[in-house]
Amino acid sequence: MVKLENVVKVYRMGTVEVPALRGISLTVDEGSFVAIMGPSGCGKSTFLKRLGCLGRPSSGAVEIDGMEVAKMRKTELAAMRNRKIGFIFQNFHLLHQATALANVMLPFLYSDCPKSQRKPRAMELLKTVGLEERANHKPFELSGGQQQRVAIARALVNHPKLILADEPTGNLDSRSGLEIIALLERLNREGMTIMMVSHDPQLAAHAERIIHLKDGKIIRDEAVKDRRRAEDELAKLVQEEE
C-alpha cells in the first residue's frame, strides 16, 4: 500500500537548510494499522505530509497504492489525495456554520460521484460513525468526540484506501479518545489501511506496528505483541461509570 525509499525532506530558510527527514525507507502492507511516534520536531508531521501527497520530498521515492507520487504534478497530487487518501486531523477542521451532513459532503466538490448519490452516501457514513441522528447539527452543537467522528465520516466519503490520522485524539478526553480509537480499529478490521501519528504510547499500542522517529530518521520499527483493544477498554470504562 505504501512504500518509501530513502525519502529526504530539507526546508530552506534563506541560506539555511533544515533537514526534516533524513533517508526514510519503509513498506506498509494494505490493511495495516501503523502508529508513528517520536518527540516534537522529529519529523512526524513532515512524514505524514509526504504520505498524504501534501508536497514532494527533496529526494527519494514515495509510492502509494502502486503509484509513484514524488514526481506528480499538482493536479495529479490533488486527484490522488481525493481518490485514495482520507485525512483526520487533531483540530477536526470542520466548517462551523455547516451541518454535520454538509461537512461530510464537502469532498464531493472535487469528486465525480453523481449528485443523486451524494447525500445517501454521506448519511450512510454518519450512520457508520453513530451520528445519523445528528446530521443536521452544526459543530458547536456537538461534543469533541462527535466532531471527530464527523471528520472521520468525511475522510471516508470517497472510499479511500489509506487513512492518515494526525493526533486524532489529541483534543479529546479519555473516553472520547477511546471511542475514536475503537472506530479506527473497526475500520482497520474491515480492510482500511491506517497510519496514525500519536504521542501517547497507550493509544499507539492499539496499532499492530509502531514506527519510532527521531531527528528525521526511523530509529525503531516494532510489532505490537500485546495489542490492546479499545472497544474492550471502552466497555470496561462504561461499566465503571455505571
List the Cα angle 96/200/83 in 5-degree steps: 50
> Over 60: is that where the pLDDT of 242 sits?
no
Work out the pLDDT band at 184, boundaries 50, 70, 90: very high
- The angle that helices 144-156 and 115-128 make with each other, rounded to 10 degrees, is 140
30-49+74-241 placed in CATH 3.40.50.300? yes
CB-CB neighbours of 39 under 10 Å: 12
Indicate whether this model's pTM tops 0.85.
yes
> First CA to last CA across the chain, in angstroms?
42
Residues whose CB is less than 8 angstroms from the CB of residue 28 and which lie 6 or more positions away in sequence, other chains included:
1, 2, 3, 34, 193, 195
List the chain domain ranges. Answer: 30-49+74-241
63-72, 124-133, 226-235: which range is least confident on average?
226-235
pLDDT tens track for 33-66: 999 999 988 989 899 888 888 878 899 999 998 8
